[in-house]
Structure 1
C-alpha cells in the first residue's frame, strides 16, 4: 500500500489496541502503543530510500528483505526497544506484541497488491502478489479517514476501528469474488493458460489483465464485469545469442527479469549498436507499456553502451536517458 494508507492503518491498529486492558487502562501505554503501531506500519518501507541510488537496485530489493520474516521480527524488537527509553513504565511485552502486529499487518496488506512482497524470505524468494487491491485504494483510505473522524467526534476508538476492519474484511472478500469471476471467464475463452495476472486499478470495477498461455501473451481489461482482450503477442523464446547474453548480464536488465513475470522482448539493429528491449505486459496504460528495461550494445565490440529500467511514458525521454548513459 501507499505511505498514507499505511499511516492511517497504523492509527487504526493503535485504536484497536486500546481494547487490550494493558493498553487501554494506562494513558502512557496508550500513547506508546499508538506511536509503536504508526512506526511499525511504516518501518518495512524504509527500503524506499534505495530509489535514490538507481532503479535497478530499487526494483530488485523493494519489498524484499525489509518485508521478510526476519525483518518483521527485527522491527518488532527495535521499535519497542527505543520507545522503552522514553516510556520505562510501559508493559514491554504488550508494547512488543502490538508493534509486531503493526509490522506484520503492513507486510500482510502489501501481499494483496499486484506488486507483492517477498514475505516468505528466507524460506523462499518468490514474490507473493494476490492482485486484489490497488497500491492506493480510495475506499480503504477514505474509510480510515471516516473512522478517525468518528473517533475524534467522541466514539470509542477501539470499537470504531474494530467495526471498520470487519467492514474491510467484507470488502476484501468482495474483491476476491470479483477477481475469481474474471479468471473463470478467461479460462473459458483462452486455451492452454499457464498464468493469469490481474492487477487492480484505482477504479473499483476496472482491472488490468495479463495472460501467459503456451503460445501467446494476452493483454486486456475488465470493465464493469466485461473482459476485453486488447493485445495479443506471439510467445517467442528469448534467444541464446551473444547480444542477448550480454544484455542479460546488465544490472538493469537482470533486475527487470527478476521482477517481471510476463514480458515480451525485442532486438533492434542500428548502424552502430543493437538495442535490446524487455517490456512488462502488466501495466498497459493508454495504449502504452511504460515499464521497460533497455540495453544498448555496441555492434563491433558487443559491449554494453548504456541501459535503463523503469517507467517511461515517451520514447523521446527513453532515448535521452540512454544517450546520457543512464543506469
Structure 2
C-alpha cells in the first residue's frame, strides 16, 4: 500500500490496542503502543531509500528482504526494544505483540497489491501478489480517516477500529469475488488452455487490468463494470538465445526487470550505430500504452551504451533518459 494508507493503519492499530487491558487508554503504555504501531506500519518500507540509487536496485529489492519473515521478526523486536528504553514501565510482551501485528499487517496488505512482496523469504524468493487491492485504495484510506474522525469526536477507539476492520474484511471478500468472476469469464472467452491470469486492480472500484498467458499468446484486456474486453493480443515468442540478447540480459536494468515482471513481450531493433533491446510489461496497459519497460542500447560490438527501466509514458521521455545514459 502507499505510505499514507500505512500511516492511517498504524493509527488504527494504536486505537484498536486500547481494547487490550494491558494497554488501556491515556496511559504511557498506550502512548508506547501507538508509537510502536506507527513505526511498525512503516518499517518494512525503509527500502524505499534504494530509489535514490537507481531504478534497477529499487525494483529488484523493494518489498523484498525488508518484507521477509526474518525482517518481520527483527522489526518486531527492534522497535519495542528501543521504546522500552523510554517507557520502562511498559509491558514488553504486549508492546512486542502489537508491534509484531503492525509489521505483519503491513506485509499482509501489500500481498494483496499487484506489485506484491517476497513475504515468504527465506523459503522462497517468489513474489506473492494477489492483485485484489490497488496500491492506493480510496475506500480503505477514506474509511480509516472516517474512523479516526469518530475517535477524535469522542468515539471509543477500540470499538471504532474493530468495527472498521470487520467492514474491511468484508470489502476484501467482495474484491475476491469480483476477481473470481472475471477469471471465470476469461476462461469462457479464451479458447486456448490458460496458463496464468494476472488481474491488477485500479483506483476505480469496478475497473481491472488483465493479462493472460497461454501457450501461444498473451492477451491484454480490462474489466469495466463487469464487462470483460480483450484489447490486445500478442504472439508468445520465446526470448531468443542470440549474442545480442545474451549481452542485453547482462545489463542491470534488464536483469532487474526480468526478475520482477512475470508477463512481458520483447523487441530487438537494429539501427545504424546500435542495437535496441526492449522488454515491455503487459500488466499495466493505460490508454493504449504500456508504461513499465526495460530498454538497453548496445553497440554493434555488444558494448553497453545506455539503459533504463521504470515507468515511462512517452517515447520522447524514454529516449531522453537513454541519451543521458540513465541506468
Please give the range of the TM-score, normalised by the shorter of the 2 chains: over 0.9
Within 5 Å, which residues of 2 pair with 1:29-68?
29-68=29-68
Aligned to 1:322: 322
Cα RMSD, aligned residues only: 0.7
The normalised TM-score by structure 1 is 0.99
Given the superposition, is the C-alpha separation of residues 25 and 151 from structure 1 closer, same or farther in structure 2, using an over 3 Å criterion? closer
Aligned to 1:17: 17
SS in 2 for 1:21: coil
Aligned to 1:92: 92
Cα deviation code 1:230-266 (max 9, x no counterpart): 0000000000000000000110000000000000000
Paired with 1:292 and 1:119, the residues of 2 have a C-alpha distance of 25
Paired with 1:232 and 1:152, the residues of 2 have a C-alpha distance of 52
Aligned to 1:230: 231
Aligned to 1:244: 245
SS in 1 for 2:305: strand
Please state if 1:170 is matched with 2:182. Answer: no
Aligned to 1:276: 277
SS in 1 for 2:60: helix
Within 5 Å, which residues of 2 pair with 1:149-168?
149-168=149-168
Paired with 2:77 and 2:13, the residues of 1 have a C-alpha distance of 18
Please state if 1:113 is matched with 2:88. Answer: no
- Gaps of at least 5 residues in structure 2 are none
Aligned to 1:255: 256
Aligned to 1:204: 205
Paired with 1:49 and 1:192, the residues of 2 have a C-alpha distance of 42
Paired with 1:320 and 1:109, the residues of 2 have a C-alpha distance of 36
Deviation at 1:25, TM superposition (A): 5.7
Paired with 2:208 and 2:54, the residues of 1 have a C-alpha distance of 29
SS in 2 for 1:139: helix
The normalised TM-score by structure 2 is 0.99
Within 5 Å, which residues of 2 pair with 1:66-77?
66-77=66-77
Deviation at 1:26, TM superposition (A): 6.6
Paired with 1:6 and 1:306, the residues of 2 have a C-alpha distance of 36
Paired with 2:303 and 2:195, the residues of 1 have a C-alpha distance of 35
Equivalenced residues, count: 326
